[in-house]
Amino acid sequence: MLFNSYEFLFGYLPIVFVLFFVIAKNNHSQAAGFLGLASLIFYAWFSVQSLPLLIGSIIVNYQLGLKISQSQKKQFLILGLIFNLTVLSFFKYANFFIENTNFFIQLSGGQKISPLDIALPIGISFFTFTQIAFLVDSYQGKVKEKNFTHYLLFVTYFPHLIAGPVLHHAQMMPQFARKETYQLNYQSIALGVTIFTIGLAKKILIANPIGEYADTFFNAITTNSSPSFANSWLGTLAYTFQIYFDFSGYTDMAIGLSLLFGISLPINFNAPYKATNIIEFWRRWHISLSTFLRDYLYIPLGGNQKGNVRRYINLLSTMVLGGLWHGASWTFILWGTAHGLLLSINHLWTDTGLGRYFNNKWMKPFFWASTFIIICLTWVLFRIEQIDQALPIYRGLFGLNGFENVKLDWAFATLKPSTLYNLLLVSFLIIWLGKPNHELKESLIKLDEKTRQIPVKVKYYLSTLILFAIMMYCINRVGSYNPFLYLQF
């Protein structure tokens, strides 16, 4: 039940919305419990066989959270970390370990180990990291949660459950403690519909069609391929924009949906492709994950407090594990390693005093273009399925396979060459000229200085209704190609 499906938009969402506020009129606690139950139903729609794992994980972490809050004993925190990481490792990395073990067994002529017949539970990385953060925050005395219903809602809250953002207890649950949350707020609803519709447009009008060509290109690459310079850049740019508009579109929809219930989720993207260096990129891209990696991995490793060499080692270790978090593959490890090295080089550059040029108005276009190209090059490692696919693509990107005219093997008849070029142009314009949604949100809810009320921005909301109607028409025409990329993580 994807956010952009008719079942969700005209079935699940309106039913949950109406019942939540009807129940809230009489009992706020029951309304919160209902929303938690509805979120479990939402998850079960995707993967009912994984529902027991999710519920079991919630029960164990809730009990450990109580123990930690009551005693502040470190052994309960360690036990919680072991439990969560063991569950995550088993489902996400067991077969990866077996596959690599079999490689060495094959060299020695031994008997291979059969892979395990297990499926990756959807959203396991997100709900595991969310609960790890809760246990650590509980140990540090930042949060306490004695109410199981509230904890269930915190973990399962359906707008963020499947693909984030990664939430902290202190970011969300105090909002459910406010009585205003359980009252209809028409400004919040209008704002939520606006942001949701923007995310829906990103997904349907850009990410889906441009993703068709990205898949066409990458799926056709083999070790014997020789993609031209133009083809390589078209395919790489297509994926660069697909992953941004797909994931940021999902996040926008999650933020918009949450506002319908009067809850504000943290922003997850802040115009990342406008970054002028890699450090800035990671402050703008997947903010909830990069913040988690910083607070719960990089800083505990020592951060930048033990000298530059140790800082670079910590950066590299953090990003390698961040890459591995995305999936059990050497391609993700290489992607994380690349960004760890780039961050280290970036910090080294800054330490020499040259970082001041990043914001120089004359040098800024050069640093922006350089950063964007480097990000595109690293996305190749993120997208390929086998390491040996990288070399043919990089040869093409650097012109080593030739500069002949573009010859595209269009697997999808609905996507014409002119459509791809227009989509790439529109993507550039939106990324460069568009306003991040948190800035749009601030402008929409800014108080009128005279009345001290939030004015109704008629032009925005009218545009939203028109755009939403267009999206409803387009949903029926997207065909079978409709992936949400981050659902696999």
Q: Mind telling me the catalytic residues?
A: 326
Q: Look at residues 404, 426, 408 and name the one whose alpha carbon lies nearest to residue 417.
A: 408
Q: Would you call 477 exposed, middle or buried from its count of C-beta atoms within 10 A (0-12, 13-18, 19+)?
A: exposed
DSSP alpha helix (H) spans, 202-266 = 208-219, 229-260
Q: Which amino acid is at 180?
A: E
- CA pair distance 123, 30, nearest whole angstrom: 26
What torsion, rounded to 10 degrees, do the Cα atoms 252, 256, 261, 266 define? 40
Token readout for 446 is 């800014």
Q: CA angle 236-333-328, nearest 5°?
A: 100
- CA pair distance 152, 149, nearest whole angstrom: 5
CA 481 from centre of chain: 20
The answer to whether the beta carbons of residues 380 and 240 sit under 8 Å apart is: no
Q: Count CB neighbours of 24 within 10 A.
A: 22
- Residue 296 per-residue DSSP state: I
Estimate the crossing angle of helix 148-156 against helix 169-176, to 10 degrees.
120
Give φ, ψ of 362 to 5 degrees: -85, -35
Q: Look at residues 433, 293, 434, 280 and name the one whose alpha carbon lies nearest to residue 371.
A: 280
The answer to whether the beta carbons of residues 488 and 249 sit under 8 Å apart is: no
Rg over CA atoms, the chain: 23
- CA pair distance 238, 420, nearest whole angstrom: 8
Token readout for 229 is 């310079």
- CA pair distance 360, 375, nearest whole angstrom: 21
- CA pair distance 364, 172, nearest whole angstrom: 37
Q: Which amino acid is at 92?
A: K
The answer to whether the beta carbons of residues 252 and 198 sit under 8 Å apart is: yes
Question: Which H or E run includes 88?
Answer: helix 74-108
Q: Look at residues 432, 424, 437 and name the one whose alpha carbon lies nearest to residue 270.
A: 437
- CA pair distance 110, 219, nearest whole angstrom: 33
Unique residue bearing structure tokens 């390929």: 384
